[in-house]
Structure 1
Amino acid sequence: MSRFSLADLPDLTGRTALVTGANSGIGLVTARALAERGARVVLAVRDPEKGRTAAATMTGPVEVRALDLADLSSVRAFVHDLPGPVDLLVNNAGLSLGPLSRTADGFELQFGTNHLGHFALTNLLLPRIRERVVTVSSLGHRIGSLDFSDLQWERRQYRPNAAYAQSKLANLLFAAELQRRLTRAASPVISTAAHPGISSTNLMRAQGKPTFGFHVEKFLVGLVAQSAEEGALPTLYAATADLPGNSYAGPGGLWGMRGAPTPVGRSPRARDSSVARRLWEVSEDLTGIRFPLDAPASPAS
């Protein structure tokens, strides 16, 4: 199989792509590459000023819109104000923090932003999405677990790395369950996922932690870390390559930490369809937002 590169991106003229967290790192590289191939790209960012600075580095039709994934009212307003259809949604934004923090709706911040914010955004936009949803996960999903009795870390001692890994596992379970529901609804839209390996981004540098969520000595990270440009390739591959739904793309070398993008495996927990279904139902209850493509039940005769 040939190595995927930016030169393999198709002509995207006439398509609209929406990239969350597009003002820096992998999101910025992803948005720039899609715009260079002719897509109209919406940079969905928490800080519009930073978004405009990022947009100034891009060629092609780009626009900046404010979106705070840690506030469901912001997600609803963003979708309400966004005109027209979306061909490609890239759920890229993510954060990894230290002290326990909460979203505007009271959710643990990493789970609330990385998973629930994107869950809400995707389902609200889904009637207007025409081609593909890409959700960015992490190698950290492999150490993640879901404690459904305390997803918001209200009773357990808070562990930031475990909370990050939980949110990244949730990303993969969400992508898989989304594909199952799309298939059941006979939708032409497909759901894929990607991870960047170990990449030199702001998220990796935050508090000295790499993108996969647990501590590794900085000199070792420096030896294996890819650039943001290389780290974005799995996302672009998942977004544009001829792949089946529920594909998961990542670097193909050095235990998934670097290398050309290719379909990759995921942990047994990330393959558990019953857990994915339960997470979806819990996410619906937490956000009040449901899958919009289910056919209405037939009236009783």
Structure 2
Amino acid sequence: MTGWTNDHIPDQHGRTVVVTGANSGLGLVTAAELAHRGAHVVLAVRNTAAGEEAARRIGGAVEVRELDLASLASVRAFAVQLTADHPAIDLLVNNAGVVLLGPRRTSADGFELHLGTNMLGHFALTGLLLGNLAAARQARVVSLSSITHRNAHLDFDDLMFERGYRAASAYGRSKLATTIFGVELDRRLRAAGLPIVSALAHPGLTRTNLTPRAWEHRGRLGQLIASLGLLATQPVERGTLPQLRAATEPGVRGGQFFGPGGPWETRGRVTEARLSPEAADPAVGKRLWATAEDLTGISYL
């Protein structure tokens, strides 16, 4: 593979890194690559047993902490404990996410589960750790987008998708919201004069455990669909490269967005990706930010 690869990752000694959803898939590979280059990596995971197994596989300076992004109480507890032990954080990778193709489900706080986990949980986490990031030198936040954000639209009158629910659309909306958050975070960090970079990445179509899980409710048919879908995907090691580049390449600018550069950005070498017009719209960013503050009770920037 030509272009940017994990061989380009610079030395990470002295950096404290938090990766959400780090026990499998993109998060596991991201955490492993950073740890192998010397970073102290916090695996922020919902299932701590799986996290401990991942830590054993990774080796190095790795610790496991419980974080359920579908629960604001869990996010707050995680942030309090992490701050006590790591007052400065150099990198936050907002990687964790859910893909559900069954009936509508809600988080512990009553949010539609995709939006609550993929965006609102990370919005709250980033805000609660902003002081830790500001205390580090040249800190970064990387938000994980998806190519599905380009076909999505936020309905602020039904943000929780209570009417006409469709799981695939709910996932796309959550990734659009995540993308808007990453872009708006960059605007606000610049306005506040904080030396923190907010960058974004998407993995294209990547072979992770999320796709099989999403189709579990369809039984054998679901297994067949998931298996056929794998044929169109790239290995997780390649899918992780955009977020690793966003996280580690010297000179990354706030608001930069990385993804595969092949056909329809589904696979291929890492390049700059394109935002949908809605994701780039400052008015939408401002509105979503205010809504997220109201929903989570967390205000920052």
TM-score of the pair, normalised by structure 1 = 0.91
Runs of 5+ consecutive residues of structure 2 not aligned to the other structure: 217-223
Q: Work out whether residues 89 and 133 of structure 1, in 8 Å CA contact, stay in contact via their aligned partners in 2.
A: yes
- The answer for the alignment partner of 1:221 in structure 2 is 229
- The answer for the alignment partner of 1:206 in structure 2 is 213
In the alignment, the residues of structure 1 paired with residue 212 and residue 78 of structure 2 have an alpha-carbon distance, to the nearest angstrom, of 29
- The answer for the alignment partner of 1:108 in structure 2 is 112
- The answer for the alignment partner of 1:96 in structure 2 is 99
CA offset digits 1:211-243 (Å, max 9, x no partner): xxxxx9667634431111111001101111122
Q: Work out whether residues 211 and 226 of structure 2, in 8 Å CA contact, stay in contact via their aligned partners in 1.
A: no
CA offset digits 1:58-116 (Å, max 9, x no partner): 13100000000000000000000012211000000000112111111110000000000
Q: Work out whether residues 69 and 117 of structure 1, in 8 Å CA contact, stay in contact via their aligned partners in 2.
A: yes
Alpha-carbon RMSD across the aligned residues, in angstroms, is: 1.5
CA offset digits 1:107-143 (Å, max 9, x no partner): 0000000000000000000111131000001011011
CA offset digits 1:260-297 (Å, max 9, x no partner): 11111111111111001100000000000011xx4xxx
CA offset digits 1:141-161 (Å, max 9, x no partner): 01111110111123x121101
- 1:46 counterpart letter in structure 2: R
- The answer for the alignment partner of 2:71 in structure 1 is 71
Alignment of 1:21-60 (within 5 A): 21-60=21-60
Runs of 5+ consecutive residues of structure 1 not aligned to the other structure: 210-215, 295-301
**SS of structure 2 residue aligned to 1:250:** strand
- 2:170 counterpart letter in structure 1: A
In the alignment, the residues of structure 2 paired with residue 59 and residue 8 of structure 1 have an alpha-carbon distance, to the nearest angstrom, of 21
- The answer for the alignment partner of 1:122 in structure 2 is 126
**Residue 188 in 1 paired to residue 195 in 2?**
yes
Q: Give the one of 207, 217, 238 matched to 1:230.
A: 238
Q: Work out whether residues 91 and 118 of structure 1, in 8 Å CA contact, stay in contact via their aligned partners in 2.
A: yes
Alignment of 1:264-275 (within 5 A): 264-275=273-284
Q: CA deviation at 1:255?
A: 1.4
In the alignment, the residues of structure 1 paired with residue 231 and residue 259 of structure 2 have an alpha-carbon distance, to the nearest angstrom, of 18
Determine which structure has the larger helix proportion and give its number: 2
Runs of 4+ in 1 over 4 A off after TM superposition: 216-220
Q: Give the one of 270, 280, 291 matched to 1:282.
A: 291
Percent identical residues: 52
Q: Give the one of 244, 250, 254 matched to 2:253.
A: 244
Alignment of 1:168-183 (within 5 A): 168-183=175-190
In the alignment, the residues of structure 2 paired with residue 278 and residue 176 of structure 1 have an alpha-carbon distance, to the nearest angstrom, of 13
TM-score of the pair, normalised by structure 2 = 0.91
**SS of structure 1 residue aligned to 2:261:** strand
- 2:109 counterpart letter in structure 1: D
In the alignment, the residues of structure 2 paired with residue 238 and residue 227 of structure 1 have an alpha-carbon distance, to the nearest angstrom, of 19
- The answer for the alignment partner of 1:14 in structure 2 is 14
- 1:120 counterpart letter in structure 2: A
In the alignment, the residues of structure 2 paired with residue 174 and residue 280 of structure 1 have an alpha-carbon distance, to the nearest angstrom, of 7
In the alignment, the residues of structure 2 paired with residue 178 and residue 127 of structure 1 have an alpha-carbon distance, to the nearest angstrom, of 14
